[in-house]
Amino acid sequence: MNILVLNAGSSSLKFQIIATDLDRIRQDADARLLRGEVDRIGGEAVVTFQKGDGPKQKLTASLRDISAALDYVIRWIASPDSGISEIQSVSDIHAVGHRVVHGGELFTDSAIITDEVVKGIENCIDLAPLHNPTNLRGIRAVRDLLGHQMPQVAVFDTAFHHSLPVHAYLYAIPYHLYLRYRIRRYGFHGISHRYVAYRYRTLRNLERDQANLVSLHLGNGCSAAAIRAGVSLDTSMGMTPLEGLVMGTRSGDVDPAVLSLIASKEGLSLHEVESMLNKQSGLLGISGLTNDMRTLQGELTEHDDRRARLAIEIFCYRARKYIGAYLAAMGGADAIVFTGGIGENSPEIRRRICEGLEWAGLSLDENKNQQAVGREEVVTKEGSRLAVYVIPTDEELLIARDTARCILGEPNPS
C-alpha cells in the first residue's frame, strides 16, 4: 500500500509517501518513496520535494491554506513531474495517515477516521487549542480532495502514554478539576518514544516486555519518557507540551507562582505570560540569542558566550535530573536512548548529560559517542551496566505502519 503521511501545522504541511503492508512490516522492508514539506502556507509558500534519497527540489506557489497546499502536493505527486513510478495517478495513493497531537483520554491507540473519531478529536480541542484544529483541517482537506472513501487513520502523539499510572498522571491540585476538565498529564512525542523503544528492542533482540529504558527526545521540543516493560510509565510533558525539560523556546518546569508574579510586574495577562513561557523562554530565553542548539554551541566555542554556556548547562542539567528521577521511578533501567535533532546529532550535549552518571553504571565511550551522528549506535563501553543508544527517530514510518495495520485489521505490535 502507498500511504500518504501528513503532519499538518499552523503554516506548514509535512508529508511523506511510504510503501508498506503487513509483509513489508514483518520484513522491515518499507520503502520511502517521497518526503517533503510546504512552508509559509497563507502566502508565497515554499514546497520542498525529495524523492527517495535523491536531491531536494524546491518550488514556490501561492497557497492560501492547508487545503490548497494539499491539492498542490497531490497533483504534483500524481503528475509525471514527480517521477515516482509507483504512483501514476491519485488512485495509487491507498490511504492517508495523520499525526494528531492530542487524543485526550479518548484515544489510547491509532484509529480509522470516522465521523465519530472526528468528533472525538474536536472534543480534545480544549486540551490542544492550537494543534487539534490544524490536524482536523488536514483531515477535512483529504476528504474534500480525495473523497470519503479514502481510508484515513489518526495516529495520536499522546496515545503511547495512556499506560501512565494514576500516580504519574494526576497533578496534586483539587481532584474535582480533573473530574470537571480532565486536567492531568497526557504527555507528547509518544510516536517518537514508541518508535525508539521499538528500535531499541529490535537492536537488542528483546521482547517488548524486556525493554526498560529512559528515552530522551531532544529537538526543538524536548521530552523524556520512562519506559518499563515496553510501556510508558512516566513522561516529562504534561497537560500541554510546556512542562518538563528545557526546550528551544519553552521553559519546561517552572514554579507556577512565577506566572502571576510576571503578570503583575510586567503588566501582562496570564495568557501573555503563558505565551512567553512557550515562545520566548528555554534556550532562547536564557541565552538571549537563539533557540537553536547548534548555533548556541558555536557561540560557546567561538566566543565563550556566558549566557550560551548557561543555556546549555541548564538544558543538560535538567535532562540529567529527569534521567535520575526516572531511574528511581522505574527501579533502574538498561539503557538511555537519545533521539531528536539534538539527541541524534550532538555528541557534546550527550556527553554533558551523561556526565556524572557513573554511579548508575553508565560508562560512556568518548570515541563511539563522537562518531555517532545521525545514525543508530551504542555509545557506551562494552559491559557498561547502563547502555546509551543513539536512535534517529522516524515518526512517519510508525504513522505509515499504524495506518496500514489499522486498515488491514492487524493489532499494533510496536
Q: Which residues belong to the active site?
A: 157
CB 222 → ligand AMP: shortest distance, Å?
Answer: 9
CB 291 → ligand AMP: shortest distance, Å?
Answer: 7
Q: Can you tell me whether residue 23 is helix, strand or coil?
A: helix
Q: What residues have CB less than 8 Å from 301, skipping those under 6 apart? A: none
Rounded Cα distance, 187 and 107, in Å = 13
| Amino acid letter, 361 | G
- Residue 80 DSSP class: G
- Tell which phi-psi region holds residue 187, choosing left (phi > 0), alpha (psi between -120 and 50) or beta: left
Rounded Cα distance, 167 and 154, in Å = 28
Stretch that binds ligand AMP, among 32-40, 123-131, 132-140, 338-346 (CB under 6 A): 338-346
Candidates 155, 340, 364, 390; binder of ligand AMP (CB under 6 A) is: 340
Candidates 119, 140, 208, 294; binder of ligand AMP (CB under 6 A) is: 294
Stretch that binds ligand AMP, among 11-19, 203-211, 299-307, 337-345 (CB under 6 A): 337-345
CB 307 → ligand AMP: shortest distance, Å?
Answer: 16
CB 348 → ligand AMP: shortest distance, Å?
Answer: 8
SS3 content of the chain, % helix, strand, coil (to 5): 45, 20, 35
Rounded Cα distance, 20 and 405, in Å = 10
* Cβ proximity to ligand AMP, 346 vs 380, nearer residue: 346
* Cβ proximity to ligand AMP, 261 vs 373, nearer residue: 373
H/E stretch holding 389? strand 387-390
* Cβ proximity to ligand AMP, 182 vs 307, nearer residue: 307
Site for ligand AMP in 121-180 (CB under 6 A): none
Cell (9 digits) for 264? 503583575
Candidates 9, 151, 219, 230; binder of ligand AMP (CB under 6 A) is: 219
Cell (9 digits) for 256? 507556577
Q: Can you tell me whether residue 5 is helix, strand or coil?
A: strand
- Residue 358 DSSP class: G
Q: What is the DSSP string of 320-354?
A: HHHHHHHHHHHT--SEEEEEHHHHHH-HHHHHHHH
Q: What is the DSSP string of 177-210?
A: HHHHH--S---S-HHHHHHHHHHHHHHTT--GGG
Strand partners, 156: 100
CB 409 → ligand AMP: shortest distance, Å?
Answer: 33
* Cβ proximity to ligand AMP, 63 vs 247, nearer residue: 247
Residue with cell 539534538: 342
By the rule CB under 6 A, 392 interacts with ligand AMP: no
Candidates 103, 187, 241, 341; binder of ligand AMP (CB under 6 A) is: 341
* Cβ proximity to ligand AMP, 12 vs 297, nearer residue: 297
Give yes or no for a contact between 225 and 214, defined as CB atoms under 8 angstroms apart. Answer: yes
CB 289 → ligand AMP: shortest distance, Å?
Answer: 12
* Cβ proximity to ligand AMP, 67 vs 220, nearer residue: 220
Candidates 138, 190, 230, 248; binder of ligand AMP (CB under 6 A) is: 248
* Cβ proximity to ligand AMP, 344 vs 402, nearer residue: 344
CB 146 → ligand AMP: shortest distance, Å?
Answer: 29
CB 373 → ligand AMP: shortest distance, Å?
Answer: 7
* Cβ proximity to ligand AMP, 241 vs 341, nearer residue: 341
Candidates 38, 142, 333, 342; binder of ligand AMP (CB under 6 A) is: 342
Distances (CA, A) of 412 to 5, 109, 284, 307, 310: 17, 9, 39, 45, 43
Question: How far does CA 279 lie from the centroid of its chain?
Answer: 18
Nearest to ligand AMP by Cβ — which residue? 341
For the window 254-293, what string marks contact with ligand AMP as x by the rule CB under 6 A?
Answer: --------------------------------------xx
Give yes or no for a contact between 41 and 69, defined as CB atoms under 8 angstroms apart. Answer: yes
Q: List interacting residues with ligand AMP (CB under 6 A).
A: 219-220, 248, 292-294, 297, 340-342, 345-346
